[in-house]
Amino acid sequence: MEAIFTVGHRVGSPLAVALILKTPTERGQPGRVAFVAGKRVGGAVVRNRSKRVLREAARRMGAPWQGADVVLIARRGTADAPPAAIDNAVESLLRRGGVR
């Protein structure tokens, strides 16, 4: 998973950042998805809520995605944003990153 931070494609929005690394699809394995919220986002409760809402948005978008490893990084305000805004942000990140 370390390669995603050095070689992966970074796409950002006001609510989240996505790191995307294309993987060979011939392995027959689904891609991996990780959720991160740094201390800048807030205390433990806010960080956990931020990851939870990102996880739910990714689930609604069909995670894990074949042929890509994705790291979704929460930004300030993710925990308090309406679900529709988070869904739109995640979908936009995936589209711009070439996953969807």
Task: List the one residue out of 41, 40, 43, 9 whose CA is nearest residue 23.
Answer: 9
The distance in angstroms from the start CA to the end CA of the chain is 21
> Is residue 26 scored above 80 in pLDDT?
no
Helix (H, G, I), strand (E, B) or coil at 63: coil
- The CATH number for 21's domain is 3.30.230.10
pLDDT of residue 28: 66
Number of domains in the chain: 1
Residue 25 has pLDDT above 90, yes or no: no
Q: What is the model's pLDDT at position 40?
A: 95
Query: Pick the residue with more confidence: 89 or 29?
Result: 89
| Of 82 and 98, the one with more pLDDT | 82
Range of the domain at 26: 3-97
Query: What confidence tens digit (pLDDT) does each residue in 40-83 have?
Result: 999 999 999 999 999 999 999 888 888 889 999 999 999 999 99
Return the pLDDT at 67: 83
